[in-house]
Structure 1
């Protein structure tokens, strides 16, 4: 797990062809918008969250965010424990994000 600043996260993500963006916020938070192409798995789902993570490709590079960076940090630590090779936490979360945000379909 690695904490990245907003700038580091954006730059690294833009140059990573093995990247997956993961949003770990609640459904209500996601309704306010999501970073383009992100997949959503709510960290508050407990065991269901872990079950969903287990379905993901552990060789991908995961760029993880939440509202402020706390829950995504927890998610990255869980992912490390589950054997994910690369999980990057967005410091400051989506509230400090200056990139694109799209509505959820």
Structure 2
């Protein structure tokens, strides 16, 4: 597992890179705000119910949650399952909102 900052993720998005984003929060959190990640709650990851992610196994996967703790656990589990390049989004969705919601309000 590596880490990625919200700035680095935003740059990748702005460049139009193909990104495998994995949101490990709960459905109600996802409904409130999401940045386009595929929703697979941490509980499913921990019980290895991740068949829908099989095509990402050899690719970069950026994992996020609310603050970065659940996504760190998810990265560790995915690494054990053979995923080659997992990245934990530092600070999670809270860091994203703090940085980019503030910028949106200024615009």
Q: TM-score range by the shorter chain?
A: 0.7 to 0.9
Residues in 2 aligned to 1:96 and 1:8: alpha-carbon distance in whole angstroms: 12
TM-score, reference length from structure 1: 0.77
Larger-Rg structure: 2
Q: 1:27/1:86 Cα in 2 relative to 1: closer, same or farther (>3 Å)?
A: same
Runs of 4+ in 1 over 3 A off after TM superposition: 12-18
Q: Number of aligned residue pairs: give it.
A: 97
Q: Which residue of 1 aligns with 2:91?
A: 92
State how 1:7-18 maps to structure 2 within 5 Å: 7-12=7-12, 17-18=17-18
Cα offset, 1:44, TM superposition: 2.3
Q: 1:55/1:90 Cα in 2 relative to 1: closer, same or farther (>3 Å)?
A: closer
Conserved 8 A contact 1:69-1:90: yes
Structure 1, unpaired ranges of 5+ = 101-105
Q: Which residue of 1 aligns with 2:26?
A: 26
CA RMSD of aligned residues (A): 2.2
Conserved 8 A contact 1:19-1:60: no
Higher RCO (C-alpha 8 Å, min separation 6): 1
